[in-house]
Amino acid sequence: MLPAELTTTEAAGQLGVSRTTLMKMIRRGDIEAHRVGSHARLHAEDVQKFRERRRAQQLEALSALRDLDEEMGLDT
Quick: pLDDT tens for 58-71.
999 999 988 888 88
- Rg, Å, the chain Cα set: 17
Cβ neighbours, 10 Å, residue 72: 8
Domain with 21 in it: 5-72
Instruction: Give the CATH number, domain containing residue 46.
Output: 1.10.1660
DSSP state of 5: E
Count how many domains the chain has: 1
Average pLDDT taken over every residue of the chain: 92
> Band of the pLDDT at 75, cuts 50, 70, 90?
low
* pTM score of the predicted model: 0.77
